[in-house]
Structure 1
Amino acid sequence: MRDGVKGLASTLVSAVVLGGFAAVFVFHPLTPALPRAGIDPSWIAVMGEAADRPARFGLDTAFTYGPASPVVTGYLNAAWLIRTVPLQLGFSALFGWCAALLVAARRPGRAACEGTAACALMLAAARGTPDALFLALPFPVLLLALRREPRRAEVAASWLGAAALGLTAMVKMSFPLAALPLLALADGAGLARRRVPRFLPLFALGIAAGALLYGQRLSDLPAYAATQGEVVAGYAAAMAVDGPDWDLQSFVLSALALLATAVLAPRGPGRWPAAAGLGVALLFLFKAGFIRHDMHSTIAWTGLALLGTLLAWSRLPRHAALGVTAAACLVVLVYEPIVTVRQSLREGRGAALARLYADAPGVVADQAAAGWDALRDPASFRARLDARKASAWAGIAQAMPLGDLPGTVDILPSAQTAVLAAGLDYRGRPSFQEYSTYTASLAAGNRAFLEGSAAPRWVLFGPESPEGYMGIDSRFPALAEGPLWPDLLRLYRPDHRIGGLVALERRAMPAPLPLGPVRDAVARFGGTVPVGGGPAWATVDVRPNLAGRILSALFRPPLLTLAVTLDDGAVRRFRLVPALATAGFLLSPLVDNASDYEALAAGRAAGAARRVAGFAVETSSAGQWFYAPEIAVTLRSLDVSGLGPAPLPAAPAGRIAAPASGTLSLPLAGIPAAGGTRRVTLGYGLDDGASRRVCFAAMPADGTRTTLWSACLDPEAEAGSVSLDVPDGVEELALQTRCGSGACPASWRVGSGG
């Protein structure tokens, strides 16, 4: 009896300690994340704010994460205190409970303390990597489920764990996908012992409960699963980044050593199911850490250390468990910091890394202080957080001002926080960050959105980074929402510039954008395909062979490069995303900034430094073994002549009604020059019965949008006129009318002289 009480007390202490370490170091639940500028902070904010609105995930929103993304990101939204924090604490407690039942419940006092300390150290090293905890969590649930004569606490923990793993489908789809095989193994082992399957039904129940908790419709779950599956399936080919081979090889060898340890473990029931489950967990950690081999590798190494410690103290003798713990300590305390420092310096993030390590001692103090403030005066605590969030929004708005854009707004570079900070009516595409729209299906969902009634009035178009790169990872620029460019050109027209962005306003009527006949070609790796002059639309179908499909399932396919030769002889190389290349993209001209796009949308011819004369698809010599040798190519000319503003006659004319597009083109060739300058007289007025305010503006039609003159007329106001001295070198004026949506009830009169 006394031993039983001691064992229970030891388990409870271990569970509290491990749950506390998981909460404080992995989640930091009481110091939430605030809005910031940047690519990752933008998706964090969009997903966090969407969780506060009745957004239908899978239909309105398609991204790697789901409505419960703040559980991982810690984003401060309206539901932070009532949903995010309880779930963070709940997952921490569950992990601590499962781990305590494995490392402390059936061991003597000293070994239980040592196992608890080892796991606590691994959790402390997992600071800021909740992905590692979520990908490791299915393994302790499986180990508890495999016990031949489980105690009540072990049964309860494994059942609760199965349901909680289902709920993670609302956080990130890779989490339940990693859990599903292990829960199937648990039910399979139960069937062998003539037990009714419990874990998969509980898993399904957890998915449904999570959907309802976040205001989702159960009828939307199939669409959510399909969209998330598309995101997961396309991730490896689109988002892969190479890293040091020695880091990847070290992980593979370490994982194989741990797997061999599980197979040869002298104790524990269900050895083979446990080894199989460990192998699956290691595979998911491997893919999470090394498909995008940058700072993501810390997820893999931290998860490996967690799994190794749990396996060691649940199934190995004490001396062997101490050996595994020592190896795990070398990983998290020596090897992983070295890799992290190296990668951070390589990415120019040395200052951020210094802050990470400098702030580490204050993590516990910060959480304790925040907890005391929250308990002492919850209302004031929340008010201070809201004030800090408002200040963060104000800082973003000041750093990237967007001005006033009436109506709904979307943005093509991944700078959604700038739109939200400006107080604009953000209405993003379902796959709202361009780099994550990497399959034809995701692009088709965005196209349907742009063609539908919910499409935004404005789309802000520009480079992905301040350095001027249109896409991440040196992708070919026109792969940024590549299949959608014809839709953007037809449906939106350039209106004005905002720094490095161009504001595209929706046209009243789609512009013509005819495609020429298809020209088929078959290419091989390294072989050049000629393109020809003028804008060109291309599809490039690079298909993996059987070996490539197997490699993609286990890891990722070899990276592809698109080498383009320009008319001026320059050769530039870019990353090629296979699915987007197959769906189609603008191959020529090379458009890698807002000015280039504006020129294309105005129908102006590109210079030799932008026209693509030919291209080739390249990969490494080893990479060619994983693709079909022939690459199917189609090329079609793209007639952009109908995209520009409606022309006026070259000579002075009478009354001209404002077109639906809102912009008229006025060539100046027929207007005489006096003393080296041209003077143009513009008359402007409202149509009879006009009921809307109309604003008029004149500017050079050169894409700079430098306003020479502007004025506005209210309904029943008299017509006006103005004489403009046109600057030297300006051969064409753009006359613009704005009145909201649709054609403006207004007209121009044009003359020459004063």
Structure 2
Amino acid sequence: MRTSKETRLPIVFFDGGKWLGITCVFLLLLVLLCVFVPFSPVMPSVGLDPSWVLGMNQAVSQGLRIGTDVIFTFGPYASIYTRAYHPATDVMMLAGSVLLSISCWLSIIFLVKGRPGLLLSLCVALLFAAYSRDALLLFVPFLAALVSYKIINNRAVGFPLLPRTLFVFVVAFAALGLIPVIKGSVLILSVAMVLACLGIFIFCREGRLALLSVVTPVVSIIVFWVASGQTISDLPSYFINMVPIASGYTEAMAIPGESYEVIVYIVAALLVVFASFFDRKKVSFSIIDLFLPGVFFLFLFVSFKAGFVRHDAHAVAAAIAILLGGISLLAFYKGKLTAVALIFSLFTAGLVFNRHVGLSLPTVSNLLNVTLVSAAVGIERRISDKTWPKADFENHIAYYKSVTDLPLLKGRSDIYSFNQAPLIFSGNTWAPRPIFQGYSAYTRSLAEKNIQHLLGEDAPDNIFFRVEPIDGRLPSMDDGASWPTLLTGYHPVRRLPGYLQLERNGADKYAVISARGEPVAHQLDEVIVIPLTNKVLVAKIDVKPTVLGRLANILFKPAELRIAIVLNSGEERTYRVVSGMLKSGVVISPLVEDTFDFSLLYGDADFSTGKRVKSIKVYQAHSSDFSWQSKYSLQFDELEVARKIDPVKFFGFDPVDNDAGKLSLVNAQKCDGSIDMINGVNPLPEIQLHRLMSVSGWLASSVSEGVPSEAVYIMLSDKTGKNTFVKAKVKSRIDVANAFKQPNLEYAGYSVEFDTEALQGVYSLRLAMKRNGRVEVCPEYLISATINDQVN
């Protein structure tokens, strides 16, 4: 076996003790510590990502079993990835991050051995890696495999296995064991690298190294797992339950992006892999010579999936990976192919990074600020102020608790769908379902765990419910399989801003009667007429992937599935759907698009008439794609709430304002405002209303002066000229205030919820406002509304 000149050099950490080499070595350590270790950690906030970030830390704090009580992409050391502070995880976060820093430092020095230029290049690349924790985590098992290859090469030319070399090896594989309990999905690359290293050590008859390559990460996982407060008996469940989370991620969470980024990355990755194989004096197909290309391929392929499946800012992970991969080639080769691969890797990384982050002086300045400056400030504050960052954390908690609208309730509480933070901030006892982010219950097995949780003894006493779809999904899909159980086991007790408060049933149940249908075969693109019923209709749609679809799911991502929905009124909706969630069952009729629609499922069917579905069509986003089988099965189940709420009393619908009809009525010359939504959709010139009329928007008396309206009305005029006025409630619209730079316009928003039971026929729907003791009708808004399906 031929080796490069660098491989045949003795194993030394410094280049003859030269100061430049020493400086570069310690600069690398500084960069790694600043990039890996959250000396200035992130504080809690609200939103999609901040919610799971806080949720994972809170789960560890409450002693919940990770992988059993809480099932997510991350493990108990998630804070190393998120950089988020929590008093219960801060020590774990710092200790684990330092280990990763030291491991990478020792591994890189061992691989580079006194080449200051290469060390400086890696310092720069790792600084940019601060923008992607995924790339940093994936780099750890990659380095462990490169260290193994270097040791094998050195052993092949007769160098002994020195204690310091063995130390580097053990630390590298100990870090490799830590990352799966940071982010469970990284286990795929970790296991692949361990098996590859095990294979090459066995082939080269390095029994001690073969044993250490397996034992070290296994012991490391166990030690870190137990140190986090988890029990060893729960560790298998963590990895077992990670399988559906990892396998279902690609289809469920994929979003499209610029295809040229994908193509350029693939070309760059292939160049790196080819260079790692062909850029040597003698090409052979021995297991040892195939090992290095295999390692590069695994690292770059997993990074490709991490970056381009969810093709948004995640693409930065791929950019950093190809940058690190290209530079790492220089640790082994200096040939022309390596040079070409490196140049194209730099080009690819710059192209992707520039699009998603930007390459400019402000970007570089911000990069230095979030790494070096932030670390220095954090270290100084941790030393000088013993109460920090805990005091800062408590201040954030206190602030968000003061602005949350969730009341403090007795018993244990959960919140649907993904925004866990407000519930944790509120001070209620957080009792999450296993897949606590609703959008992640994307396989049937995961959905079933949440259902069983609601049926079990540990079910929460209270639920704050909100419909929160992501990525243009069918709104009833996220945690949709649990909706029938929620309708069965819980009842609404209060309407809160943005949420419906549900309480667990006692002996007096709001029973749900279920009539199950039979699966029927249908074709993709087929328009399917929905059965006529006043009950809640649940659809179980089983769309199976083709062989090519399964392959696409492994190599990249399959074609997106969509559903087209036509309401009885003729209105159409199109949503993205996920096969596993469809298979678990979703409420398909009436169409539920928001929390208010869900609330009406507990009420009389008349209130949901306008959302009854006439037909559906399931299809692929790209008809030429072959990801999904053309035939699928569809089953309809009927649900009927036996005891219903009275929506008029429960929601406090807005009454008719008779006083407005006594005021002088004039036509305004011009109005500043809009009708944004009617029954959850953008208004059309002609609409149909059935019992319920929900209207929202904004209206100002004067935008230039920043004066909201005295009162806003929805005016309904029948053919005889009789007017019905419904006074709107004031709603906050900070976006309007910001758009016109008028703070007082924050209260220019309005909303109306009105029961149209007393109205029938065709009405003119207008927007009006009270000003100077009279009602002024806005000329800009005139909508023909057919109410309760009766046209006179």
**TM-score greater than 0.5 by the shorter chain:** yes
Q: Is 1:410 the equivalent of 2:414?
A: yes
Q: SS where residue 40 of structure 1 aligns?
A: helix
Q: Tell me the equivalent position of 2:571.
A: 570
Q: CA deviation at 1:323?
A: 5.7
Q: Is 1:37 the equivalent of 2:46?
A: yes
Q: Tell me the equivalent position of 1:540.
A: 541
Q: SS where residue 101 of structure 2 aligns?
A: helix
Residue 258 of structure 1: which of 265, 272, 279 is its match? 272
Q: SS where residue 519 of structure 2 aligns?
A: strand
Q: CA deviation at 1:8?
A: 7.0
Contact 1:512–1:643 at 8 Å: present in 2 too? no
Q: SS where residue 126 of structure 1 aligns?
A: helix
| CA shift digits 1:614-662 (9 cap, x unpaired) | 1011114456412211011111222234344799xxxxxxxxxxxxxxx
Contact 2:87–2:390 at 8 Å: present in 1 too? no
| CA shift digits 1:421-442 (9 cap, x unpaired) | 1111111111101111111111
Whole-Å separation in 1 of the counterparts to 2:497 and 2:647: 26
Contact 2:539–2:634 at 8 Å: present in 1 too? yes
| CA shift digits 1:58-112 (9 cap, x unpaired) | 1111000011000111111124442211211210111121112112x2xxx5xx0
Whole-Å separation in 1 of the counterparts to 2:59 and 2:633: 40
Taking a change above 3 Å as real, the CA distance of residues 264 and 646 of structure 1, as seen in their structure-2 partners, is closer
Q: Tell me the equivalent position of 1:338.
A: 355
Question: Which amino acid is 1:194 matched to?
Answer: R
Question: Which amino acid is 2:434 matched to?
Answer: P
Q: Tell me the equivalent position of 2:316.
A: 298
Taking a change above 3 Å as real, the CA distance of residues 514 and 47 of structure 1, as seen in their structure-2 partners, is same
Q: CA deviation at 1:316?
A: 1.1
Whole-Å separation in 1 of the counterparts to 2:441 and 2:16: 51
Whole-Å separation in 2 of the counterparts to 1:4 and 1:251: 35
Taking a change above 3 Å as real, the CA distance of residues 623 and 553 of structure 1, as seen in their structure-2 partners, is farther
Whole-Å separation in 1 of the counterparts to 2:479 and 2:249: 15
Contact 1:14–1:100 at 8 Å: present in 2 too? no
Contact 1:259–1:278 at 8 Å: present in 2 too? yes
Taking a change above 3 Å as real, the CA distance of residues 357 and 483 of structure 1, as seen in their structure-2 partners, is farther
Contact 1:267–1:315 at 8 Å: present in 2 too? no
Question: Which amino acid is 1:482 matched to?
Answer: G
Contact 1:402–1:419 at 8 Å: present in 2 too? yes
- What are the residue-to-residue correspondences of 1:365-514 with 2, within 5 Å? 365-375=373-383, 377=384, 380-381=385-386, 383-464=387-468, 471-509=469-507, 510-514=509-513
Q: SS where residue 250 of structure 1 aligns?
A: helix
Question: Which amino acid is 1:315 matched to?
Answer: F
Whole-Å separation in 2 of the counterparts to 1:144 and 1:241: 36
Question: Which amino acid is 1:423 matched to?
Answer: G
Whole-Å separation in 2 of the counterparts to 1:569 and 1:729: 22
- What are the residue-to-residue correspondences of 1:621-636 with 2, within 5 Å? 621=622, 624-636=625-637
Contact 2:44–2:396 at 8 Å: present in 1 too? yes
Contact 1:15–1:93 at 8 Å: present in 2 too? no
| CA shift digits 1:301-335 (9 cap, x unpaired) | 1111112211x221112777666555444444454
Q: Tell me the equivalent position of 1:516.
A: 515
Q: Tell me the equivalent position of 1:690.
A: none
Contact 1:45–1:417 at 8 Å: present in 2 too? yes
Contact 1:603–1:640 at 8 Å: present in 2 too? no
Taking a change above 3 Å as real, the CA distance of residues 371 and 267 of structure 1, as seen in their structure-2 partners, is farther
Q: Is 1:185 the equivalent of 2:196?
A: yes
Taking a change above 3 Å as real, the CA distance of residues 235 and 3 of structure 1, as seen in their structure-2 partners, is closer
Taking a change above 3 Å as real, the CA distance of residues 457 and 335 of structure 1, as seen in their structure-2 partners, is closer
Whole-Å separation in 1 of the counterparts to 2:355 and 2:53: 28
Contact 1:408–1:424 at 8 Å: present in 2 too? yes
Q: Tell me the equivalent position of 1:95.
A: 104
Taking a change above 3 Å as real, the CA distance of residues 319 and 526 of structure 1, as seen in their structure-2 partners, is closer
Q: CA deviation at 1:12?
A: 6.3
Whole-Å separation in 2 of the counterparts to 1:39 and 1:327: 36
TM-score (norm 2): 0.75
- What are the residue-to-residue correspondences of 1:146-157 with 2, within 5 Å? 146=149, 147-150=152-155, 151-152=161-162, 153-157=164-168
Q: Tell me the equivalent position of 2:726.
A: none
TM-score (norm 1): 0.78
Q: Is 1:160 the equivalent of 2:171?
A: yes
- What are the residue-to-residue correspondences of 1:310-325 with 2, within 5 Å? 310=328, 312-317=329-334, 325=342
Whole-Å separation in 2 of the counterparts to 1:517 and 1:442: 22
Q: CA deviation at 1:519?
A: 4.2
Q: Tell me the equivalent position of 1:222.
A: 236
| CA shift digits 1:507-558 (9 cap, x unpaired) | 1134321222414332212111111233211111110111111111222221
Question: Which amino acid is 2:199 matched to?
Answer: G
Question: Which amino acid is 2:201 matched to?
Answer: G
| CA shift digits 1:708-739 (9 cap, x unpaired) | xxxxxxxxxxxxxxxxxxxx98999xxxxxxx
Contact 2:492–2:500 at 8 Å: present in 1 too? yes
Whole-Å separation in 2 of the counterparts to 1:567 and 1:703: 16
Q: Tell me the equivalent position of 1:21.
A: 31
- What are the residue-to-residue correspondences of 1:645-664 with 2, within 5 Å? none
Whole-Å separation in 1 of the counterparts to 2:96 and 2:25: 17
Taking a change above 3 Å as real, the CA distance of residues 455 and 8 of structure 1, as seen in their structure-2 partners, is farther
Q: CA deviation at 1:160?
A: 2.2
Residue 242 of structure 1: which of 247, 256, 274 is its match? 256
Q: Tell me the equivalent position of 1:84.
A: 93
Contact 1:516–1:636 at 8 Å: present in 2 too? yes
Q: Tell me the equivalent position of 2:580.
A: 579
Q: CA deviation at 1:180?
A: 1.2
Q: SS where residue 638 of structure 1 aligns?
A: strand
Question: Which amino acid is 1:125 matched to?
Answer: F
Q: CA deviation at 1:609?
A: 3.4
Contact 1:144–1:154 at 8 Å: present in 2 too? no
Contact 2:476–2:593 at 8 Å: present in 1 too? yes
Contact 1:513–1:643 at 8 Å: present in 2 too? no
Q: Is 1:143 the equivalent of 2:146?
A: yes
- What are the residue-to-residue correspondences of 1:273-292 with 2, within 5 Å? 273-292=291-310
Unaligned segments of structure 1, at least 5 residues: 343-352, 465-470, 648-662, 666-700, 705-727, 733-754
Taking a change above 3 Å as real, the CA distance of residues 212 and 623 of structure 1, as seen in their structure-2 partners, is farther
- What are the residue-to-residue correspondences of 1:553-564 with 2, within 5 Å? 553-564=554-565
Q: CA deviation at 1:407?
A: 2.3
- What are the residue-to-residue correspondences of 1:645-724 with 2, within 5 Å? none
Q: Is 1:46 the equivalent of 2:58?
A: no
CA RMSD across the alignment: 3.1
Q: CA deviation at 1:161?
A: 1.6
Q: Tell me the equivalent position of 2:135.
A: 132
Contact 2:61–2:89 at 8 Å: present in 1 too? no
Whole-Å separation in 1 of the counterparts to 2:119 and 2:426: 49
Taking a change above 3 Å as real, the CA distance of residues 504 and 541 of structure 1, as seen in their structure-2 partners, is same
Contact 2:528–2:616 at 8 Å: present in 1 too? yes
Q: CA deviation at 1:413?
A: 2.5
| CA shift digits 1:172-215 (9 cap, x unpaired) | 11222112112211111111122222212222222212211112
Q: SS where residue 359 of structure 1 aligns?
A: helix
Whole-Å separation in 2 of the counterparts to 1:5 and 1:358: 31
Taking a change above 3 Å as real, the CA distance of residues 624 and 334 of structure 1, as seen in their structure-2 partners, is closer
- What are the residue-to-residue correspondences of 1:344-355 with 2, within 5 Å? none
Q: Tell me the equivalent position of 1:686.
A: none
Whole-Å separation in 2 of the counterparts to 1:257 and 1:160: 30
Whole-Å separation in 2 of the counterparts to 1:100 and 1:640: 67
Q: Tell me the equivalent position of 1:677.
A: none
Q: SS where residue 583 of structure 2 aligns?
A: helix
Whole-Å separation in 1 of the counterparts to 2:200 and 2:173: 15
Question: Which amino acid is 2:310 matched to?
Answer: R
